[in-house]
Chains A and B, each alone.
Chain A
C-alpha cells in the first residue's frame, strides 16, 4: 500500500498515543478523539481499525508494529518497546534514495557544495551505506567544464533566499567593458549547463539576465530589496526556451516552422515546447508546426542548429533574425552559384 500523506499523519498520531505514558489504556474512543483533535476532521473507527491493521501487517509500509488489543481494558498497546520513528527504510526505499543521491551526484558535477556533500554523507550514514562506486555512478548526465563564476552560486542563492541585493562587477563580452552593478537577484536559472542570475539591475533600471561567468566578486548588501513579480516571471519561464529574451517586452510570438520528412517523427515525439501544435501534415512527410514562445537567443540558435531539418516560416522579424545570423556566419562572395 502506498503511504499517503493523510494515513502517514494518522500513523504518527496513533504511534504517539501508544507511546504516551499519560494515557494508560487508550481505547478506540481515545484514539478517535485525539486523532480528530489533531487532524481537525472527523475520522471513523473503521479508518482507525484499518490504520492499526496496516501498521501491524502491511508489508508495503513495513512497520510491523506490535500492536495488541486488551479485552480486559478494551484498549490498545505495544507489546514491546516500539515506535514507527525508528523503523528503517526497506530495501526498495533505500535503493530509491540511493538512486536519487546518484542523480544528485551526477548533477553536482556542475555545482558541488560542501553542504551538499555533508548532507549526502549523513543520509548514507543513516542508511548504513557507504559511498562507493558499487552503489552509485549508474546515472550519467551531460557534463560541461566548470563554469567561471560557479563559485558564487551559493552567495547568490543565499541573497535570493534572504532577499538581499548584491554588488557585482560585470564584464560585457560584446562591449568589452567592466561595470559595477547593484542587482536584486530573483532567480538562478540553468540552461545547457550554464547558470544565470535573473535580477533587477539598479543601473539598467530593468530586469536583466547575467551569466555567472561574467560576474566578479559579489557582495551581499544591507539595503532594501526590490522583489520581482514571481508569478509573472514564472509564467515567462514557461513561455521561453533559454534565458536571453531578444526583446524586453517579453511577449509571446506564434512561430511557424516546416519540418522536413526525415525529422518529422522526431519533432512529434520531442516537441520543442508544450505549446507545440501540428497545423498540417503533408502526404510527402513534411509537417507544419507552431509554437508560441517569447523569442530568445537560444531559440534562434535552436533553429540555426537544425537548418537542414526544419525551416522557420513565420513571423517575418524572427525569420529575418535567423537569416541575418546565417549571412554573418558565411562569406557570401565565396558561395558558388
Chain B
C-alpha cells in the first residue's frame, strides 16, 4: 500500500502530535528520497536547499581533515532530522553527510517550507519550537561529549 506523504510526515517525530493540516502543509513541500550505502547526501559548503526527515537507515555527519580523511562527528538514525543549516542564512551546509546503509527519507524543500512559515506565523512558531528542541538536544549531547565522561574513572 502506498502511504500518503502527509501521513508519513505526521508520523515523523519532528511533526508527530501536530494537527493534520500541518502535515499536509509540510507534505506540499516534500517528496520521498532514497540513498544507497556510502552516498554523499549533503556536502559541506553546499547550498542548503532541502533537508531530510530520516525514516530508515543511518547517516553520519563528517568533516574532512587534511591527512586524516573523513572524521565522523555524529550519527543520525530513523526519526532524526538531517540538515538544520537551511533555517538560517547563509543557508550553507556545515558538514558532509554520508549514508552508512540504505536510507529512506522524506526530502523537504527548504525555501518552500520557510515561505510557508513566514506566511503562517502560527505554523512557523510550531515549526521553530520543534526544531529548537532538536537543536537543544544536539547542543546538550555535544556538551556532555565534551566532558569526556568515560575518561574520569576514580583512581583506586
The answer to whether A binds B is no
A residues sitting closer than 8 Å to B (CB atoms) are: none
